[in-house]
Amino acid sequence: YTQVLRDSVVVEGIGGPPCWLFPWAFFTGYRGAIREDTVANKVYGIWAGETNESLFYDYTLGIGQAIVGLASGCTMTVSGIDSVLVNGEYRKRWHFMTCYEGPGYIIEGIGSDNGLIERLDLAPGFCSGSLICVRDDQMAWYESGAPSTYGCQEVIARVPVVDPVQQASFHPNPFRTTTRLVAEGLDGASLILTNSLGQTVPFTYRGAGTFVEIDRSGLPSGAYWVKVMKQGRWVATHQLMIIDP
């Protein structure tokens, strides 16, 4: 499986009437895990908090066949099939009419016009997102053309001021019982700890100003990530390793 994590969310504006946001619209962290069956040409996955695998995308559909997976609330069928250029090669694109949002599409290996693992259709009155682009560290593979203030750049790339917390470090790391996060500007910061599965785990920390001390608190050995939040935004992410005595 490939883990899917949402790093950050920026809401540029909310229109109406009305426009309500589902709870997952602001959710950051582990969203789920996906598995691609290259023989069957389908994508399966497990949502965060669930244990059963379900079908995300079926890349074998023909015109008139019903869309399954991330469809919600009604039956949608494929109305047309064409192709689009993605990273130098053509991928299939399936067009369909949603029940509430108008036309939609799915691109092989990319996801839908709403996003990689976003629902294809939402109930009346709820806001939907738009897929802006798919990229790696080097280049954009696909750009949808949907309007966005940030374009195909990472959101954090548009934040010009480097917070001193980003220059933080842990000592010791790896650690057995206690470690210390040392940095300027930790006043008012809050910390979130996630394990290698992307699950948030409870832990104990104390301090402010220039350091925060973290206790192991019975956590098993392994890799963890500490995310630091200040003034409503994530400003730093650091990996921690816990080892047994």
The pLDDT of residue 18 is above 50: no
In this structure, are 151 and 169 located in the same domain?
A: no
Neighbours of 33 (CB within 10 A): 18
In this structure, are 145 and 39 located in the same domain?
A: yes
| Structural domain span for residue 9 | 2-158
Q: What's the pTM value of the predicted model, to 2 decimals?
A: 0.56
End-to-end, the C-alpha distance of the chain in Å comes to: 31
pLDDT per residue over 170-212, tens digit each? 889 899 999 998 877 777 778 888 887 667 888 888 876 678 8
In this structure, are 230 and 114 located in the same domain?
A: no
In this structure, are 146 and 187 located in the same domain?
A: no
Q: Is 81 helix (H, G, I), strand (E, B) or coil?
A: strand
Q: Cα dist. 18→7, 15, 21 in Å? A: 27, 7, 10
Share of residues in the chain with pLDDT > 90 (%):
16
Give the end of a domain, one of 142, 158, 174: 158
Quote the CA–CA distance of 44 and 4 in Å, as a whole number: 13
pLDDT per residue over 46-94, tens digit each? 877 778 888 888 899 999 998 875 655 678 889 999 999 888 889 999 9
Q: What is the mean pLDDT of the chain?
A: 77
In this structure, are 133 and 173 located in the same domain?
A: no
In this structure, are 24 and 120 located in the same domain?
A: yes
Quote the CA–CA distance of 103 and 53 in Å, as a whole number: 28
The pLDDT of residue 162 is above 50: no
pLDDT greater at residue 11 or residue 217: 217
**165 with 183: CB under 8 angstroms?**
yes
pLDDT per residue over 113-127, tens digit each? 887 777 776 655 556
The pLDDT of residue 168 is above 50: yes
Q: How do strand 42-47 and strand 54-58 relate by DSSP bridges? A: antiparallel
Give the end of a domain, one of 158, 175, 192: 158
In this structure, are 141 and 170 located in the same domain?
A: no
Give the end of a domain, one of 124, 141, 158: 158
Residue 199 sits in a domain whose CATH number is 2.60.40.10
The pLDDT of residue 159 is above 80: no
In this structure, are 220 and 150 located in the same domain?
A: no
User: According to the model, what pLDDT value does residue 146 have?
Assistant: 79
Beta-carbon contacts of 157 under 8 Å, excluding residues fewer than 6 positions away, are: 150
In this structure, are 220 and 172 located in the same domain?
A: yes
Q: How many domains does the chain have?
A: 2
Lowest pLDDT segment from 93-97, 163-167, 193-197 = 163-167
In this structure, are 105 and 190 located in the same domain?
A: no
In this structure, are 95 and 213 located in the same domain?
A: no
Looking at residue 240, what DSSP letter applies? E
